[in-house]
Structure formats: structure tokens, C-alpha cells
Chains A and B, each alone.
Chain A
């Protein structure tokens, strides 16, 4: 079983060790699909960037299949949808696909089939900076899904994607044969995921784990409640996560901004 373990990790930007993106995070992805929900700036992308080696680990550790990330090389097990990892050269999408198919030792036709499936054949001759925001996001999702790795890390995969493609992507991810770590600020998409582990992230702190199966029963409530399963500290106030009763039903929430507006 493939496993990503984050142990008591504090990370920051290279060259700016005084800026910690998050502190003391613990997380394990072990043969499952997990979704992390949090508002913008909560540390979702930073977590994925740290696993990919893009942020500086100040303390703690990340172990991938029992191996320390800092000494790891050529572990062809993880792909992601961050655009910067596909910007090795300023070349068209078709060439990026050929290049990464070689680097992953994967099949080029798998990427091309996904391009067709998501009706994106017109981007093949475009460079990444020539694509629209949605095209670029979908292209990076395809690069992650087509690489053939066991684990994919998806940062806001639904952002700027039109509804039909979003639905198709959700189906793809639901039936993906492998592990997924997905982060998003939208609750609406999370409602369609079945059997995924669910976490919340706020101010660089991770809260979980729950299950997407429980979304219909989970509620947000203001303050510290006696029946709280978990209490989220927003920095200024506390939000309790409660079961079967509370101020705001999770499945009715569109995003964290709505939680803040309605509860606070």
C-alpha cells in the first residue's frame, strides 16, 4: 500500500524561513481518497507544494512509503496538477504531453484520450500561458490523471472549470483506481464524492478526519459546543463541528465564506 505521512510538520518558503505557511501538521494518506476543504489562504496548496518538495520543511518530516522526502529521487508514484511542475520549457501542450510521457514512462495516448474526453483538442498547439485559466487548470488535471502514478495530488481541480467538465471530472476522480489528495474551497463538489476522507484546513491547522458519507449529518455551529466532534479555531472565534444538529448543515454550504457569514 502506498502511504504519505506528514509528521508534526512546519513549512515555509525557501529563503524566507521566518514565514511559516503552517505549523505542526499531522496527516496520513494510506490507500484512500481524501479531500481537504478550506478557504483561500488556509494552507491547502502549500500542503501539496510541500509534499512535492516545493516548500522548505522547517521541522517535522514527510515520509513517502517510509522514505524521507528530503532524500528522495525518481519515485514515480506521485503526480499533481500544479501548473509550475509542467513549465520546464516554454513549449506547446502537445510537446509537454510527449515530454512528461517520457519522464513518467507512461503512455502518451492516455493523455491524448483524456484531452479528447474533456473536449480540449484545440489546446494541443497552445503553450500554457496561451490557455485560458480553465483550459490551463483542466490541462494540468489531465497531466496528473494521465501520468499513471498511484497517487495524484489535486489543488483546486474544479476552479474555473465549466459545469459539464466539472461533472465529468468528478466522475473520473470517483472511479480513479488509486489514491487522491484533493483540496478545494467548494463544498458543492465535495457533496458528490462518496467514501472519501474529509478534512478541514484553516489558518494552517488541519481538522479531521471525517467522511464525505457523513456530510448530510454534519453541521457547523458557532462557539464551543458540548456535543462538538471537533472545534475549529478561526483565529478570532471558534466553530464547532457537530453531528445531526447545529446552526448550518454542511451539505447546504457552498464555501467557507458562507460559513463565516452565517455563523459569525
Chain B
């Protein structure tokens, strides 16, 4: 199974360690100690920590998508060759990558969970533990997979049909969308139908639920919007994974072998 090689390559990737771990570590420290977190009631502290964890976990996992997208682009010739002249099948390849990003998702997500507990507990002066830690592992797995599938599908569309000059931008789309949806649901909120139908807010909602044990609001900072049912969020995420899985497996077989030189801007 080639997934173990991808998993090892992902978790030892320095870019991923910086953007997915160290950069997020910095923001968690800022969130706990510099952005005016004033511990109050236990419920307030739990919800505040859950909000930070949900957003940071999403941003952290989005870096997996970028990493895997670049890997596909640099390996396009090898992947095409392997489908024709080795025993590698599109399903085996896609599932192997899903396995690898799941490992990456668990490691990054669990690190963000542990650091959230540590920093916010230190500030509050008592231990703020997640209510459903095992549930968060499932969300971390789903998060790694969905970020990979979004990035992978976008990359394959560009690689197979358009100029590779767009590749640097395309590979960051999941990260950019994560920040956009993250800030919107934090500050102004989203209509319920939109919050439960896009994978980014679905992940935020599910991460929030796994930490706080309560339904997330569609406006996280004030808790004033209608609540989002985690069952609907979960179903939405599974549907996204199913659709993108089929799309990715279909497109990856036709991956176009192009030189990485094509992506040069100047």
C-alpha cells in the first residue's frame, strides 16, 4: 500500500510543519494570551476555547491540501506511468492518499486540540477539557480527507485542462476559502443553509461541537444565530467526501504528464 509512503512524506514535510503547526501555534498563543481573552464563567470559557480550536484546526488542516496538491503536480508523470504499467489503480491510489491525509489530519488536529487545552487552560487557571475528544478525531480524519479532495480536484482540473501557471494560486484555494468562511462564521454569520452545505463551515461546526459538546451557532462570536445541527453538518461533509472522491478518482486516471517548468511564472 503506497499510503504509508505518502503518510511519511506528509508528516515530515517542513512546509506543513511550519504552516500547519508552528504558524497555528503562534495564533493559539495570541488567542489565549494577547487577544483579550478574559476568563469568565465555565460555559463562556469552554465556548471561547471551542471557537478558537474549531477555527485553528480548520486552518491547520487546510495546509494538508496545499501539500498534497503540490505532490500530485510534481508527480504527474510518475502517476500516469504507474496507472498504465504497474498494478496501481485509481481507487487504490485515491484511497492510499486518503489514508495518508487522515494520518496527517489526526496528527495536526490532535496537536491543535492539545495546544488549545494547554494555552486556554493556562489563561483560565483551570483545565478546560474537550467534551467529545474521540469525536474530534473523526472530524480530523474527515478534515484531512476533504482538504485533500478539494485541492486534488482543483489541481487535476488545472493540470489536465489549463495552464500550470495557475497552480500556485489553485493549491492555496482551500486555505483561502477556510479563512474566508472561518472569519464570516465567526463575525457576521452565514445563512443556515449555506453553513450546513459547505465543507468549511461544516468542519468548523463539527470541531466546535467536539470540543464544547453543544451545538454551534451560525454566528460563533456572539452565539446569536440559529444553531447548526451536527448531524446535518456530518451528513453534508460525508456527501462532499463521496462526491469529490468519485470526481478525483475519475480525473486522476487522465492526469496529464506535464513538466513542472510549465508552472514557472517568469
Show the binding face of A for B, using Cβ within 8 Å.
Answer: 14-15, 52-54, 69, 72-80, 82, 84-91, 95, 98-100, 102-105, 149
Select one of A73, A75, A84, A149 contacting B77, CB under 8 A: A84
Considering the chains assembled together, what is the distance between the CA atoms of A100 and B85 in angstroms?
Answer: 11
List 13 additional contacts besides A75-B85, A85-B78, A103-B86; criterion CB under 8 Å.
A14-B257, A15-B256, A54-B81, A72-B84, A73-B253, A85-B81, A88-B75, A88-B78, A89-B75, A91-B5, A91-B8, A95-B5, A99-B5
- The answer to whether A89 and B6 touch (CB under 8 A), given A52-B84, A53-B81, A84-B77, is yes
Contact bitstring B154-196, A, C-beta under 8 A = 1, else 0: 0000000001000000000000000000000000000000000
Closest residue of chain A to B90, judged by CB? A73
Q: How far is the CB of B145 from chain A (nearest CB, A)?
A: 19
Considering the chains assembled together, what is the distance between the CA atoms of A15 and B164 in angstroms?
Answer: 11
Contact A102 B2 (CB under 8 A): yes
- The answer to whether A86 and B78 touch (CB under 8 A), given A53-B84, A103-B88, is yes
Contact B2 A99 (CB under 8 A): yes
Considering the chains assembled together, what is the distance between the CA atoms of A100 and B86 in angstroms?
Answer: 8
Residues on A with beta carbons closer than 8 Å to the beta carbon of B2: 88, 99, 102-103
Contact A53 B75 (CB under 8 A): no
Contact bitstring B198-227, A, C-beta under 8 A = 1, else 0: 000000000000000000000000000000
Residues on B with beta carbons closer than 8 Å to the beta carbon of A149: 85
Contact A87 B75 (CB under 8 A): yes
Contact A89 B86 (CB under 8 A): no
Contact A53 B87 (CB under 8 A): no
Residues on A with beta carbons closer than 8 Å to the beta carbon of B82: 85, 88, 103
Count how many chain B residues have C-beta atoms less than 8 Å from C-beta atoms of the other chain.
27
Contact A54 B5 (CB under 8 A): no
Contact B77 A76 (CB under 8 A): no
- The answer to whether A104 and B77 touch (CB under 8 A), given A15-B256, A90-B9, is no
Considering the chains assembled together, what is the distance between the CA atoms of A102 and B80 in angstroms?
Answer: 16
- The answer to whether A102 and B78 touch (CB under 8 A), given A15-B258, A52-B85, A76-B87, is no
Q: How far is the CB of B72 from chain A (nearest CB, A)?
A: 9
Residues on A with beta carbons closer than 8 Å to the beta carbon of B163: 15
Contact bitstring B55-88, A, C-beta under 8 A = 1, else 0: 0000000000000000100110111111111111
A contacts with B: majority SS: loop
Contact A88 B85 (CB under 8 A): no
- The answer to whether A74 and B78 touch (CB under 8 A), given A89-B9, A91-B8, A99-B5, is no
Interface centre among B82, B85, B163 (most CB of A within 10 A): B85
Show the binding face of B for A, using Cβ within 8 Å.
Answer: 1-2, 5-6, 8-9, 71, 74-75, 77-89, 163, 253, 256-258
Q: How far is the CB of B78 from chain A (nearest CB, A)?
A: 4
Closest residue of chain B to A153, judged by CB? B85
Residues on A with beta carbons closer than 8 Å to the beta carbon of B253: 73
Residues on A with beta carbons closer than 8 Å to the beta carbon of B256: 14-15
Top 4 closest pairs, chain A to chain B, by CB: A103-B86, A88-B78, A84-B77, A85-B81
- The answer to whether A76 and B71 touch (CB under 8 A), given A54-B257, A88-B79, is no
Residues on A with beta carbons closer than 8 Å to the beta carbon of B78: 84-88
Considering the chains assembled together, what is the distance between the CA atoms of A103 and B257 in angstroms?
Answer: 19
Interface centre among B79, B84, B87 (most CB of A within 10 A): B84
Q: Return 25 A-B CB contacts under 8 Å, by A number.
A: A15-B163, A15-B258, A52-B85, A53-B80, A53-B257, A54-B257, A69-B84, A73-B83, A74-B84, A75-B84, A75-B85, A76-B86, A77-B85, A84-B78, A87-B77, A88-B2, A88-B78, A89-B9, A90-B9, A99-B5, A102-B2, A103-B2, A103-B82, A103-B86, A104-B87
Select one of A54, A86, A89, A102 contacting B1, CB under 8 A: A102
Contact B81 A74 (CB under 8 A): no
Q: How far is the CB of B82 from chain A (nearest CB, A)?
A: 6
Contact A91 B84 (CB under 8 A): no
Residues on A with beta carbons closer than 8 Å to the beta carbon of B81: 52-54, 80, 85
Q: How far is the CB of A67 from chain B (nearest CB, A)?
A: 11
Interface centre among A52, A88, A89, A105 (most CB of B within 10 A): A88
Q: How far is the CB of A216 from chain B (nearest CB, A)?
A: 37
